[in-house]
Amino acid sequence: MIVTTTNDVAGYRITRHLGVVRGITVRSRSVIGNIGAGIQSLFGGNISIYTSLAEKAREEAFNLMVEHAASAGANAIVAMRYDANEITDGITEVLAYGSAVVVEPA
């Protein structure tokens, strides 16, 4: 699966547009994770516990989006984006979305 943030794929031409595809995940921080992050925040810098959580959420949303596109018959996704919203304190949704397309070499 080719995934790009641009509206086209270099060296390919889009032969079919299949519509919007998305992957969404909702994540929460654990009590232990919050304690560890609180300790890390006392020393400043990168809070690796939250960085890891954010990366896992993005990866999961991305993979779900790719699965959605594949099930629609796509071999590429263009105009891919991420969005994230806090649903409530400590619970965040991460959305990966784009346009599923079929491409062939130009």
Domain hosting 22: range is: 2-28+54-105
- Residue 37 falls inside a structural domain: no
**89 or 66: which leads in pLDDT:** 66
Model confidence over 18-63: pLDDT tens digits?
A: 999 999 999 876 555 555 555 656 666 666 677 788 899 999 999 9
* CATH number of the domain within which 63 lies: 3.30.110.70
pTM: 0.84
pLDDT attached to residue 39: 63
Tokens for 73?
């018959």
- Residue 41 falls inside a structural domain: no
CB neighbours of 38 closer than 8 A, spacing ≥ 6? none
- Residue 101 falls inside a structural domain: yes
pLDDT cut 70: percent of the chain above it: 80
- Residue 48 falls inside a structural domain: no
Letter string b/e over residues 53-77, b meaning 16 or more CB atoms within 10 A of that residue's CB: beeebbebbbebbbebbeeeebbbb
Query: Looking at the 3D structure of the chain, how many domains does it have?
Result: 1
